[in-house]
Amino acid sequence: MKLRDITIRAGRSLRQAKARTLLTSLAIGVGAFTITLSFAVGAGGRDYASSIISSNTNPQELFVQPKQDAAHDPGKPKKYSDVQTANFGGNFTMKVLKQTDIDKIAQIKNVVSVTPIYSVAMKYIKAPNSDKYTTTVRSYNSAVKLDFVAGGASGIEKNGIILIQNFVEALGFKDANDAIGKTVQIAIDKYNNGTTPLETKLFNFTVTGVVKSSVLAASPINGMQIYTDNLKAMYDYSQQGSSNYGIFMGAVALAKDGVNVDTVKADIAAAGYDPQTAKDLMSFIFQFIDVLQAILVGFGVLAVLTSVFGIINTQYISVLERTQQIGLMKALGMRRRDVGRLFKLEAAWIGFLGGAIGSGLAIIAGTIGNPFISQMLNLGDTKLIVFEPISIISVVVGLVVISVVSGILPARKAARLDPIVALRTE
Amino acid sequence: MIEVKNLVKTYGTKGNLFNAVDGVSFVIPSGTSVAILGKSGSGKSTLMHIMSGLDKPTSGEVLIDGKNLMLLKQKDIDIFRSNKMSFIFQSFFVQAKESCYDNVSLPLEIANVAMSRRRAKIESALAAVDLSDKIKARAKELSGGQKQRLAVARAIVNSPQILFADEPTGNLDSVTGGMVEDLLFGYSKKNKVTLIIVTHDFDLATRCEVQIHLKDGKIDSINGLK
């Protein structure tokens, strides 16, 4: 008997037992729904994370830290080493970078520039006639694409500043466009090894652009942006003369465009430092998403496992109900192999139906839910549930395979039926 | 030509053996109508099952056109049956939820007849049993006599050489039963098909050219063979 004829007959006998077929498929559908949705959430989460990374970091950027000592057993005395360290009190020290290290990294092949991380404590930001607000300021990076609401980055090297949208009104401007060209002031304290500041100075900046304050610019790296030289000037004012001056927790090295950042990373590591690419820094996000997705898929798999027994049960009943039909087909010369195939194909149809129903419902649910989720989490146009055709196809195909496997036992029972016994059954 | 040589079929376990068929031999020329008669338990159904290759004898041989069924592999017996034999049963065994067309199509699918050649065969088989107007009707919508005629259409659609009928009129009243009988004998005559009817109905048996009477698994008498 041809596979095509068997497939059609299998589909027909399922249609003749509509309620049973539908209920069995729905059981698988629950699993398919869960798995499809978890894959979609995983894909959406990864997309979301990548968009955060690309809008906040430069892929050619490397964050370089001194190589720290291996974890030290606090129960034993620690050996002294003649390297400059920052002491955080107690026995906790951290190695730091000095200007000589910065120069050494700058010499490494394909490194375009090295900028130390200037840690400057901002006191507050204000417009000449506004209230004071706390903020952070970071160095402007031309390679990171910014979402400007007004203005741009041109002129930033001449004491310019890029503001964040939600500061516009607080600082007393009418709107983003009104802020362009206006002056804002940042206050910096000067320390000299003490805890009380010696004096405070106001630095003036001209607003060149305003960027969106979206969730995509995640808060820890959310801040005003100024030119690196300005940041250095603030740092010098704040720290010069203190014991912390000239030592850095880390530095940002920029790899040449078109050069694989990982080879530069290897070179820097070989020079005795601990470099991390933007991707490395964000990898924990992906790990988190993967774990979350695995847990969700796990629930789906559990549901599928349960439905496997449903298929086996349904198919066993089907074999019992159709004993006569099987007997007739065998009497007419249908081969054992083909009888087995008929029942396996029926199971395959059930699996296909369940997969299609489940993933179809998941797509509907995801499409309806997406705008609500985005609104609730303030994501703007970003979708957190992304359906990839390949994952839907593999869910459906996987379920068909699982169904066929669960159909093997009932199919074998059907194939082994003795036609004489089967035809005697009334 | 069907040659049956010294067939024995034994059931049961050691110490409690029972011969359902006990040393049966005969020869049936092609195109003959044969009735196998006997009371229930006489072994007539078992004999039919062995002759059609559905069952294996304990000893003895069945040769169809010189081919020994006992020497064939299961696969070859299946192919042989799908191409050369057909069955009609007392309780019809038509698929109630399928259309008449699909019911009749089954033997053609099993015998791997090409799609394009099926429709004509199915239509002419249904025409032969006067069910052309029911081609799309579901089998459960048919009356008893129509169901058995549908079974006849299914049996003749692939032009078998041997037609086995197990009490074909047992579940029918005399009028509809008579119609089915006429169909079977007419078809057998017209197409020179060997017709083997298992029955305990003497009226039906006398319409056959040959009557084989079985009693306790042995041949009691054979009438009509030259």
Q: Do A419 and B54 touch (CB under 8 A)?
A: yes
**Taking CB atoms and an 8 Å cut-off, how many pairs form between chains A and B?**
58
**Does the CB of A9 have a partner CB in chain B at under 8 Å?**
yes
What element of type H or E holds B63? strand B59-64
pLDDT for residue A220? 41
- If DSSP codes are grouped into helix, strand and coil, which group holds residue A211? strand
pLDDT for residue B40? 85
Over residues A314-332, mean pLDDT: 92
Domain containing residue A382: 3-54+284-424
Given pLDDT bands bounded at 50, 70 and 90, which one contains residue B64? Answer: very high
**Does the CB of B107 have a partner CB in chain A at under 8 Å?**
yes
pLDDT for residue A406? 95
Testing the interface with B: which of A323, A332, A416 to mutate, by most B Cβ within 10 A?
A332
Nearest residue of A to residue B91, measured between CA atoms: A426
A150-171: pLDDT as tens digits: 888 888 888 899 888 888 888 8
> Does residue A143 carry a pLDDT above 90?
no
Distance (Å) from the alpha carbon of A286 to chain B's nearest alpha carbon: 54
Q: Tell me which residue in B86, B110, B112 faces A329 most closely, judged by beta carbons.
A: B110
Over residues A285-301, mean pLDDT: 89
**Does the CB of B216 have a partner CB in chain A at under 8 Å?**
no
Given pLDDT bands bounded at 50, 70 and 90, which one contains residue A218? Answer: very low
> Does residue B104 carry a pLDDT above 80?
yes
Least trusted range by pLDDT, from A3-7, A137-141, A182-186, B165-169? A137-141
Over residues A143-152, mean pLDDT: 78
**Domain's final residue, options A246, A278, A310:** A278
Say yes or no: A201 and A66 in one domain: yes
**Does the CB of A335 have a partner CB in chain B at under 8 Å?**
yes
- DSSP code for B42: S
**Does the CB of A416 have a partner CB in chain B at under 8 Å?**
no
Q: Which residues of A touch B78 (CB under 8 A)?
A: 330, 333-335
**Does the CB of A419 have a partner CB in chain B at under 8 Å?**
yes
Say yes or no: A410 and A371 in one domain: yes
Interior/surface letters A176-185, b for 16+ CB within 10 angstroms, e for the rest: beebbebebb
**What DSSP letter does each residue of A358-402 carry, written as one string?**
HHHHHHHHHHHHHHHHHHHTT-TT--S----HHHHHHHHHHHHHH
> Does residue A221 carry a pLDDT above 60?
no
Interior/surface letters A352-379, b for 16+ CB within 10 angstroms, e for the rest: bbbbbbbbbbbbeebeeebeebbeeeeb
Over residues B83-90, mean pLDDT: 92
Say yes or no: A10 and A121 in one domain: no
pTM score of the predicted model: 0.73
pLDDT for residue B166? 92
Q: Do B85 and A16 touch (CB under 8 A)?
A: no
Say yes or no: A96 and A144 in one domain: yes
Say yes or no: A216 and A306 in one domain: no
Say yes or no: A83 and A220 in one domain: yes
Q: Do A333 and B55 touch (CB under 8 A)?
A: no
Q: Tell me which residue in B74, B82, B95 faces A332 most closely, judged by beta carbons.
A: B82
CA pair distance B128, A305, nearest whole angstrom:
52
> Does residue A204 carry a pLDDT above 80?
yes
Mean pLDDT score of chain B:
92
Given pLDDT bands bounded at 50, 70 and 90, which one contains residue A40? Answer: very high
- If DSSP codes are grouped into helix, strand and coil, which group holds residue A123? strand
pLDDT for residue B198? 94
B126-147: pLDDT as tens digits: 999 999 999 999 999 999 899 9
CA nearest neighbour of B45 among B223, B186, B214: B214
**Domain's final residue, options A257, A278, A299:** A278
Distance (Å) from the alpha carbon of B48 to chain A's nearest alpha carbon: 11
pLDDT for residue A149? 83
Q: Tell me which residue in A9, A332, A338 faces B107 most closely, judged by beta carbons.
A: A332
Say yes or no: A296 and A419 in one domain: yes
Over residues A198-217, mean pLDDT: 79
Say yes or no: A65 and A50 in one domain: no
Q: Do B112 and A2 touch (CB under 8 A)?
A: yes
Over residues A303-308, mean pLDDT: 92
A250 to A66, A97, A110: CA distances (angstroms): 7, 6, 19
pLDDT for residue A81? 65
Q: Which of residues 216-245 of A touch B (CB under 8 A)?
A: none
**Does the CB of B93 have a partner CB in chain A at under 8 Å?**
yes
Radius of gyration from C-alpha coordinates of chain B: 18
Say yes or no: A264 and A290 in one domain: no
> Does residue B221 carry a pLDDT above 60?
yes
Q: Tell me which residue in A9, A333, A336 faces B82 most closely, judged by beta carbons.
A: A333
Per the structure, the count of domains in chain A is 2
pLDDT for residue A245? 81
Over residues B135-161, mean pLDDT: 93
Say yes or no: A293 and A387 in one domain: yes
Both tokens assigned to B181: 């009988």
Both tokens assigned to A33: 């729904």
pLDDT for residue A288? 87
**Domain's final residue, options A278, A299, A318:** A278
**Does the CB of B72 have a partner CB in chain A at under 8 Å?**
no
Q: Tell me which residue in A5, A16, A335 faces B78 most closely, judged by beta carbons.
A: A335
Q: Do B54 and A333 touch (CB under 8 A)?
A: no
Least trusted range by pLDDT, from A81-85, A104-108, A412-416, B87-91? A81-85
Say yes or no: A87 and A214 in one domain: yes
Both tokens assigned to B82: 């799908």
Q: Tell me which residue in B75, B98, B106 faces A332 most closely, judged by beta carbons.
A: B106
> Does residue A52 carry a pLDDT above 80?
no
Percent with pLDDT over 70 in chain A: 89
Number of alpha carbons in the 13 Å side-chain half-sphere of residue A27: 19
Strands A199-211 and A148-151: antiparallel
Mean pLDDT score of chain A:
85
pLDDT for residue A215? 52
What stretches of A99-198 adopt beta strand conformation (E)? 111-116, 122-126, 137-139, 148-151, 160-164, 183-190
Do the Cβ atoms of B152 and B92 come closer than 8 Å? no
Give Dmax (Cα) for chain A: 106
Q: Which residues of B touch A335 (CB under 8 A)?
A: 75, 78
Provide the β-strand partners of residue B2. Answer: B28, B64
Over residues A319-339, mean pLDDT: 92
Distance (Å) from the alpha carbon of B9 to chain A's nearest alpha carbon: 14
Say yes or no: A33 and A73 in one domain: no
A70-113: pLDDT as tens digits: 666 667 777 666 666 665 555 566 678 888 888 888 888 888 88
Contacts 24+ apart (CB under 8 A), A213-220: A213/A164, A213/A165, A213/A166, A214/A147, A214/A378, A214/A380, A215/A377, A215/A378, A215/A379, A215/A380, A216/A51, A216/A52, A216/A55, A216/A56, A216/A147, A216/A380, A216/A382, A217/A52, A217/A55, A217/A56, A217/A147, A217/A164, A218/A52, A218/A56
B66-76: pLDDT as tens digits: 899 889 998 99
Sign of CA dihedral B95, B96, B100, B102: negative
Domains of chain B: 31-49+86-223 (3.40.50.300)
A367-409: pLDDT as tens digits: 998 888 888 876 767 788 889 999 999 999 999 999 999 999 9
